[in-house]
C-alpha cells in the first residue's frame, strides 16, 4: 500500500467530501482559456512563476511593485540597527520576513518528520464565553492570557519564545469506491515548553499553513454584494450546499464587513491581512495595527523598538500594492484529454458548487489592471461546514470550528517552491 503523495491529498479530500454532486440548473463552465487571471495572467513557468507582476500593469507602477517586493522578501532585523527602514523585529516572532513563510510567494507546507516548520504556525484562543463583547467584535476570538492569539516559536536575542510547536502523524487507510486503498496522514498538534505560564485546559489550537499570494488583488475587487448573493446559508435551493459569508472587523473602516482572506475568511482586505501578519508573525507595529501579539505579562516594551510605528505608512502601501499585484500563472495542458476529463468530473461530482470556476471583476475598480477581468479562481470565498473530520474546533468571528473558506484552486498544480 502506497501513502498518498501530499500534492494529491487536497484532491482526495474533495472527492471524499463531494459524494454525488448536486443538480445544476445549468452545468458549471469549463475553462477554455489559459488566461486564468484575466489579462494580467503571466506565461512564465519556472520557480519564479508566483512572483511576477500583473502582465497588464502599467510600467509606471513597476517600481512600486519592486519596492514592495524588497520589503516583502528581505529580512527585518532587531533594533537598533543601521538598517533603520527594516529594524524593530520582535521580540516574539515566527519569522523575520514575509518570504520566510510565503516561500517565493507560493504556498507553504507542513513539516514532515523532524523537519522544522518554516511556513506553518499555530493560532490560539479560548472559548468565547467570558470574553467581553468588544474583544470578540474586534478580534473575532478570545486571546489566551500570557500567549495571545498566536504561538510565537522564536524570539530575538535576550527574549524567550512562547513555546515549541509539536507535531506527530498517525496514518489511516481510506477505501475508495473503485477498490483502491490510500493512506492518509493525520496531524496531531501540541505545545511544548510553554514559557509564560501553564496553558489552559480549554485551549483552542488551529494550525495555519501560509497560502499562495497570487491573484489577491483580483479577489479583493469582487463586490461584497456578489459574495453575499452567492451565499445560501440555509440551503434554500436544496442543492446540498450551504455556503455563507464571514463577517469580520475592518480596522480601516471601523465597522463589521464581509471577510474574504485567510483560512476562515477572517480578514477583509489585503492591507489588514498584511499588517496583522507584520504584527503577529514579526512583532512589527503599524498605524493600522499599533499593537503586536505580546501580552502584558511578557513585558515586550522592555526591548528596543524600531520607532513608532515600525512599519511606516509608506512601507505599508508598498507591501500592500505588491501583494495585490502578484499575477496568476497561465493554465497549462488544456488540450490534454486527461485534463479535460478531469474538468468534466470536477463538475459532475459537485466540486464546482463551492469551487466556483469563474468570477468577474467589476469594470470600475480603482486600479485599471484589475478592472473588468474574467478570472478563474475556483472559489466562492464562502465558508462551508467541512465536517468534524476536518474541524479545528476554533471559531473565528462568525466562522464555526467546522467551517473553512473555499480555497482558490488556480495554479494549484504547481509544486511547492
What value does the mean pLDDT take over residues 357-386?
A: 98
pLDDT band at 397 (very low <50, low <70, confident <90, very high): very high
Asked whether residue 4 carries a pLDDT value surpassing 70, the answer given is no
CA 205, distance to chain mean position in Å, is: 16
- What angle separates helix 62-73 from helix 313-323, to the nearest 10 degrees? 100
| DSSP per position, 93-135 | ES-SSGGGTSGGGS------TTPPPSSEEEEEEB-STTS-HHH
266-272 contact pairs (CB < 8 A, 24+): 266/140, 266/396, 266/397, 266/399, 269/220, 270/216, 270/217, 270/220, 270/320, 270/323, 270/324, 271/316, 271/320
- The pTM assigned to this predicted structure is 0.92
Residue 391 belongs to a domain = yes
Residue 111 belongs to a domain = no
The Cα-based distances of 406 to 40, 205, 268, 410 in angstroms read: 23, 20, 15, 12
What are the pLDDT digits (tens) for 95-115? Answer: 999 999 999 999 988 888 778
Residue 132 belongs to a domain = no
For 203-328, list the strands marked E by DSSP.
Answer: 204-209, 247-250, 255-258
What are the pLDDT digits (tens) for 26-69? Answer: 678 999 999 999 999 999 989 999 999 999 999 999 999 999 99
pLDDT band at 18 (very low <50, low <70, confident <90, very high): very low
Name the DSSP letter for residue 316: H
Instruction: Write down the residue that cell numbers 487536497 correspond to.
Output: 10
The Cα-based distances of 153 to 100, 274, 376 in angstroms read: 14, 20, 37
Residue 32 belongs to a domain = yes
What cell does 127 get? 472559548
- Coil, strand, or helix at residue 144? strand
50 contacts 212 by C-beta, under 8 angstroms: yes
In whole angstroms, give the CA distance from residue 136 to residue 133.
5
Q: How big, in percent rounded to 5, are the helix, strand and coil portions of the chain? A: 25, 20, 55
| DSSP per position, 11-70 | HHHHHHHH-SPPP-SSPPPPP--S-TTGGG-B---STTTTSPBPTTS-GGGHHHHHHHHH
In whole angstroms, give the CA distance from residue 329 to residue 381.
20
- Residue 8: the pLDDT is 43
User: How many structural domains does the chain have?
Assistant: 1
What cell does 188 get? 496531531
What value does the mean pLDDT take over residues 73-86?
A: 94
- φ, ψ for residue 299 (rounded to 5)? 50, 50
- Residue 142: the pLDDT is 97
- Full domain range(s) for residue 390: 6-106+212-405
Asked whether residue 312 carries a pLDDT value surpassing 70, the answer given is yes
Residue 417 belongs to a domain = no
Residue 176 belongs to a domain = no
Residue 175 belongs to a domain = no
What cell does 286 get? 503599524
Amino acid at each position: 500500500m502506497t501513502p498518498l503523495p501530499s500534492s494529491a491529498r487536497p484532491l482526495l479530500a474533495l472527492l471524499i467530501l463531494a459524494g454525488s454532486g448536486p443538480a445544476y440548473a445549468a452545468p458549471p463552465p469549463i475553462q477554455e482559456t489559459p488566461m486564468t487571471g484575466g489579462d494580467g495572467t503571466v506565461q512564465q513557468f519556472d520557480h519564479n512563476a508566483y512572483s511576477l507582476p500583473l502582465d497588464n500593469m502599467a510600467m509606471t507602477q513597476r517600481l512600486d511593485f519592486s519596492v514592495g517586493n524588497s520589503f516583502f522578501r528581505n529580512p527585518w532585523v532587531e533594533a537598533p540597527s543601521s538598517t533603520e527602514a527594516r529594524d524593530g523585529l520582535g521580540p516574539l516572532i515566527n519569522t523575520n520576513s514575509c518570504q520566510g513563510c510565503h516561500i517565493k510567494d507560493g504556498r507553504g507546507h507542513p513539516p514532515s518528520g523532524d523537519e522544522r516548520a518554516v511556513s506553518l504556525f499555530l493560532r490560539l484562543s479560548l472559548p468565547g464565553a467570558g470574553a467581553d463583547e468588544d474583544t470578540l467584535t474586534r478580534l473575532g476570538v478570545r486571546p489566551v492570557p500570557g500567549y495571545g492569539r498566536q504561538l510565537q516559536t522564536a524570539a530575538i536575542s535576550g527574549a524567550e519564545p512562547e513555546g515549541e510547536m509539536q507535531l506527530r502523524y498517525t496514518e489511516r487507510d481510506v477505501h475508495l469506491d473503485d477498490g483502491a486503498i490510500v493512506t492518509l496522514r493525520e496531524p496531531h498538534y501540541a505545545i511544548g515548553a510553554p514559557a509564560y505560564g501553564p496553558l489552559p485546559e480549554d485551549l483552542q489550537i488551529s494550525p495555519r499553513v501560509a497560502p499562495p499570494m497570487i491573484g489577491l488583488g483580483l479577489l479583493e475587487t469582487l463586490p461584497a454584494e456578489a459574495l453575499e448573493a452567492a451565499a445560501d446559508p440555509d440551503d434554500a435551493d436544496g442543492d446540498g450546499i450551504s455556503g455563507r459569508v464571514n463577517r469580520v472587523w475592518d480596522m480601516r473602516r471601523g465597522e463589521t464587513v464581509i471577510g474574504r482572506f485567510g483560512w476562515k475568511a477572517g480578514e477583509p482586505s489585503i492591507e489588514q491581512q498584511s499588517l496583522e501578519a507584520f504584527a503577529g508573525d514579526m512583532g512589527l507595529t503599524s498605524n493600522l495595527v499599533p499593537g503586536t501579539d505580546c501580552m502584558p505579562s511578557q513585558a515586550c516594551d522592555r526591548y528596543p523598538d524600531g520607532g513608532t510605528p515600525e512599519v511606516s505608512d509608506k512601507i505599508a502601501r508598498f507591501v500592500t500594492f505588491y501583494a495585490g499585484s502578484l499575477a496568476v500563472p497561465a493554465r497549462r495542458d488544456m488540450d490534454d484529454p486527461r485534463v479535460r476529463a478531469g474538468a468534466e468530473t470536477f463538475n459532475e461530482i459537485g466540486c464546482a458548487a463551492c469551487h466556483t470556476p469563474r468570477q468577474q471583476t467589476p469594470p470600475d475598480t480603482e486600479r485599471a489592471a484589475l478592472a473588468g477581468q474574467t478570472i478563474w479562481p475556483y472559489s466562492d470565498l464562502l465558508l462551508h461546514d467541512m465536517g468534524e473530520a476536518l474541524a479545528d474546533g476554533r471559531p473565528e468571528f462568525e466562522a464555526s470550528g467546522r467551517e473553512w473558506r473555499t480555497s482558490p484552486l488556480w495554479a494549484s498544480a504547481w509544486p511547492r517552491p
